[in-house]
Structure 1
Amino acid sequence: MATKPTILIVGTLDTKLSETLYLRSAILGQGTCNTQILDVSRKPQVADNTKEVLKDELISPLTEHGDELSKLSRGDYVDKAISICTPVVQDLVRSNNVHGIVSAAGSTGSSLATAFMRDACPVGFPKLMILSNGAGAICGMTLAHVEHQKESEVAKGKRIAITMFGVTTPAVDNIRNILTSTPHDVSDYELYVFHASGSGGRAMERLIEEGRIDAVIDLTTTEVADELFGGVLAAGPNRLEAAVEKGIPIVLSTGACDMVNFGPKDTVPEKHKDRNLYVHNPSVTLMRTTKDENRQIGEFIVNKLKASKAPSNIKVMLPAGGISMIDKADQPFRDPEADAELFKTITDGLSDSKIEVIQSEEHINDEVFAVQVCEQLLDIMGVAPRQYRLANARRRKWSFDHGATLHAVRRASQISIPDA
């Protein structure tokens, strides 16, 4: 029988011993996972009878620092404990000795546990702060994660990240249709879609840093606008940096850079009340970026991309027909002059680099633009569209269901493929 996955329970055993042991018992009672306990107590002293119960399960990296910790303020203790225990958790995760992490601690223990979850565990690793029904939840999450790891080890395909927003969803759907095979088949390309809502951009950047992404279609860079102009969906000042630093293939566009995101309309800052505002829904209000703001967005993008040591691995696609669903003819954010300023800033700013800037007459959500984006990515990756389509055509045994997009790709790659 295969070894059961192990869940790391983080607890302050000097104050939450009974809760920690109860959680351990509940997890073991599921019969699917083993446990280890990380004691992060300020006064890490566990009774002998408890040690006997836990035996090899107990990890106590703070024990040898007990005297020092007891003299610190609570805040300093938390900082010190995080610095000591984070590398311990990292080693457990990297060595595949633990497969999920859970805690039912109080406020101090929660600060510690969530720091380990954030800093020591990768994106997608099962993490849970709970009070009740948590044992079943963390067991289920851990089993699913371990199964996904097994599947990932078997898969040999390239992992491509794509950024999306509601107003660029058709573009992403078109790209996915081109780069992936039909649902009943296996493709050499696994696509990860990240919603460009701040947390999505940060998650993608982290996965790239961890080496878990092989190429990026950064179609939707709207988080830059929020970062620069006070929107609520910013991904931080380091957005766009990870892929550039790694030197992986990048196709970047300016999707949804025509907007800054705010909450309900009455939360829009007073200084913006007279701007071109669009109520997307009761919880989201969009503000159209101006010509000057688009220049600043372009400068931000240029400065990030020019730091690349592998500029030939970057291509920028600029859709002159519009950069979002509401930036086209008869839509409220259509402003060709503002878009032109964004495109000019990027084009001029990269003119002395080896980064290729390609301007398309299409709208970002047009199928033809999706074809162009995919062609550029495959070109950087050294895969000819013809080669790619033939490989996937054989895999799918001539069974296609991609409609107009497929036909566009057929034409672009000059492949004669029989209908199903």
Structure 2
Amino acid sequence: MSRVVLVGALDTKGVEYAYVRDLLADAGLRPLLVDAGVRGEPRIRPDVTRSEVARAAGRDRREIAALATRAEALAAMAEGVAALLGSLRDAGEVDAAFGMGGSGALSVLAPGFRSLPLGVPKMIVTTMASGDTRPHVGASDLLLVPSIVDIAGLNTVSRFVLERSVAMLAAQLGRPVPSATGGDGKPMVAASMFGVTTAGVSRACRVLESRGLDVLVFHANGLGGRTLESLAEDGWLSGVLDLTTTELADDLAGGVASAGPGRLVAAGRRGTPQVVSTGALDVVNFGAPETVPEAYRGRRLYSHNATATLMRTDPREAAVLGARLGAKLSAARGPVALLLPTGGTSALSEPGGPFRRGAPSGVPAPRVGAAADGRRGGDRRGGRLGAAPVERGGRVDGPSPAGRRDRSARRPHRLRPRLPHPRSARHGRPRGHRSGDGPAASPSRPSARRRSRSIR
């Protein structure tokens, strides 16, 4: 029988929580009622008292009640709820979580609910289910259900909403929680995609699916990137096909699709194989045209639709982005391949595209040893990924410099991440290597090809 943790303020919502508790019991579930109230006396008896919630946060209930402001008291109880849910999760005593209320309830319940693993049903019936819910939901699968009416007594509408919500929760508990190998045992690989990278990413995903991988596609709109990082951090992913890194540009220039400074970090920290590219790194996202900051009004802009205006990155921003990308990938503990597209960083930068005409026509590229797009493979000898220097003489979506052999003309036989080694005995010294850059090559050291790990 599944355990459902009911958490809320029983001083103001006691009647409503008693009703939901009985609905859960009638559905064959085991409710555990937790009181997260602060000042008033609970109207029904809880299974876990507010004193126990406070102690879970290392606080005393009376100390919390005496705090100067309600906001401080709610924040303290939120810590207690999160700590309590963590303890119950570790003990295997939480199969789902349910709560209800307004903005105060969300501030207390959402942090703890978000901490529960993916697939554990977590639901809050609230008056705050519309508008910007990102601060509450974050990158989790927390479900906010519109209460329609305020959570202030039982009536025809509130009973209907609560009954349907309990039915949804019970239905979710009837399905198994997914595992890191996917429902059918296939290893899971994450892919990042945006409207202007859809064609190339879709093609790459079909290749991975044909090789028996379960591909999860994330929209690189800020929330998608944070969700990808969260799954990578929790060990769900066997590999990452991060071809769309546009969220780095938004983080740099203040766009609306920033995933924060933690983007492109989790997979590298865990040693998860990564294939990364600069997809849509030429784009910064804003809303309707009037929302573009005044400082950017003179820049090259493109109206993607009525509510999305895209700004072309300039050479200075591109240099910073190249350095940041190189630094993040150089810090990775697992296999990494960086693919630099030669036909356009996004659909907007393809020949004839609105971001292709005139200068700047592309993104300066860090000196790395692999460059490829969906049609052509790159130089496989490679060099170590670096945050700097930035190659000033060419652009990744422009033609090869005159007189230089284009090594990207060869078609790759397979798509696999590689961790290039600059002094590999198999590949020899890369171009640009100078004596004194490091220790001499060791013939006994395994080559990058043999050391790299395939995600086929």
- TM band (smaller chain): 0.7 to 0.9
Alpha-carbon displacement from aligned partner over 1:393-414 (angstroms, at most 9, x marks no partner): xxxxxxxxxxxxxxxxxxxxxx
**Is contact 2:77-2:108 (8 Å) kept?**
yes
Q: Secondary structure at the match of 2:6?
A: strand
| Equivalence for 2:290 | 266
Alpha-carbon displacement from aligned partner over 1:164-212 (angstroms, at most 9, x marks no partner): 111111222212211114xxxxx74211111100011111111111111
Paired amino acid for 2:100 = A
Summarize the Cα distance change of 1:193–1:148 in structure 2 as closer, same or farther, 3 Å threshold.
farther
Matched residues in 1 for 2:309 and 2:413: separation? Answer: 29
Summarize the Cα distance change of 1:164–1:261 in structure 2 as closer, same or farther, 3 Å threshold.
same
Q: Does 1:318 align with 2:340?
A: yes
C-alpha displacement at 1:161, in angstroms? 0.6
Matched residues in 1 for 2:109 and 2:175: separation? Answer: 24
Matched residues in 1 for 2:28 and 2:243: separation? Answer: 41
Indicate the larger mover: 251-260 or 146-155.
146-155
| Equivalence for 2:3 | 6
| Equivalence for 1:382 | 454
| TM-score of the superposed pair, with normalisation by structure 1 | 0.75
Identity of aligned pairs, percent?
29
| Equivalence for 2:133 | none
Q: Secondary structure at the match of 2:232?
A: helix
Q: Which has the higher contact order (CA 8 A, sep 6+)?
A: 1
C-alpha displacement at 1:345, in angstroms? 5.8
How many residues were matched structurally? 357
Summarize the Cα distance change of 1:222–1:374 in structure 2 as closer, same or farther, 3 Å threshold.
farther
Matched residues in 2 for 1:190 and 1:244: separation? Answer: 20
| Equivalence for 2:175 | 147
| Equivalence for 1:254 | 278
C-alpha displacement at 1:261, in angstroms? 0.3
Structure 2 counterpart of 1:126, from 113, 118, 121: 121
Q: Secondary structure at the match of 2:101?
A: coil
C-alpha displacement at 1:153, in angstroms? 7.4
| Equivalence for 1:398 | none
| Equivalence for 1:170 | 199
**Is contact 1:179-1:374 (8 Å) kept?**
no
| TM-score of the superposed pair, with normalisation by structure 2 | 0.69
**Is contact 1:291-1:337 (8 Å) kept?**
no
CA RMSD across the alignment = 3.3
**Is contact 2:242-2:274 (8 Å) kept?**
yes
Q: Secondary structure at the match of 2:365?
A: helix
Matched residues in 2 for 1:308 and 1:228: separation? Answer: 21
Structure 2 counterpart of 1:18, from 15, 20, 35: 15
C-alpha displacement at 1:351, in angstroms? 4.6
C-alpha displacement at 1:99, in angstroms? 2.6
C-alpha displacement at 1:241, in angstroms? 1.0
| Equivalence for 2:67 | 72
Matched residues in 1 for 2:29 and 2:356: separation? Answer: 55
Structure 2: runs of 5 or more not aligned: 126-146, 148-157, 371-381, 388-394, 400-407, 419-448
Paired amino acid for 1:126 = P
Q: Secondary structure at the match of 2:285?
A: strand
Structure 1 residues 213-232: aligned runs within 5 Å = 213-232=237-256
Matched residues in 2 for 1:32 and 1:327: separation? Answer: 57
Q: Secondary structure at the match of 2:175?
A: helix
Summarize the Cα distance change of 1:231–1:353 in structure 2 as closer, same or farther, 3 Å threshold.
closer
Structure 1 residues 86-235: aligned runs within 5 Å = 86-118=82-114, 120-130=115-125, 131=147, 132=158, 133-137=161-165, 139-141=167-169, 143-144=171-172, 147-149=175-177, 155-181=184-210, 188-235=212-259
C-alpha displacement at 1:286, in angstroms? 0.5
Q: Secondary structure at the match of 2:310?
A: strand
**Is contact 1:294-1:339 (8 Å) kept?**
no
Structure 2 counterpart of 1:295, from 319, 324, 330: 319
| Equivalence for 2:31 | 35
Alpha-carbon displacement from aligned partner over 1:202-249 (angstroms, at most 9, x marks no partner): 111111111111211111000000000010110001111111111110
Q: Which one has a larger percent helix, Structure 1 or Structure 2?
A: 1
**Is contact 1:163-1:193 (8 Å) kept?**
yes
Matched residues in 2 for 1:19 and 1:373: separation? Answer: 62
C-alpha displacement at 1:252, in angstroms? 0.4
C-alpha displacement at 1:159, in angstroms? 1.4
**Is contact 1:27-1:136 (8 Å) kept?**
no
Q: Secondary structure at the match of 1:232?
A: coil
Matched residues in 2 for 1:92 and 1:9: separation? Answer: 12
| Equivalence for 2:375 | none
Q: Secondary structure at the match of 1:72?
A: coil
Paired amino acid for 1:213 = L
Structure 1 counterpart of 2:269, from 245, 258, 283: 245
Paired amino acid for 1:16 = K
C-alpha displacement at 1:144, in angstroms? 3.2
Matched residues in 1 for 2:268 and 2:358: separation? Answer: 29
Matched residues in 2 for 1:79 and 1:377: separation? Answer: 44
Q: Does 1:286 align with 2:310?
A: yes
Summarize the Cα distance change of 1:176–1:79 in structure 2 as closer, same or farther, 3 Å threshold.
same
Alpha-carbon displacement from aligned partner over 1:83-119 (angstroms, at most 9, x marks no partner): 222121123234442232221124322210112123x
C-alpha displacement at 1:347, in angstroms? 6.3
Indicate the larger mover: 109-118 or 91-100.
91-100
Indicate the larger mover: 32-41 or 10-19.
32-41
Structure 1: runs of 5 or more not aligned: 182-186, 389-420
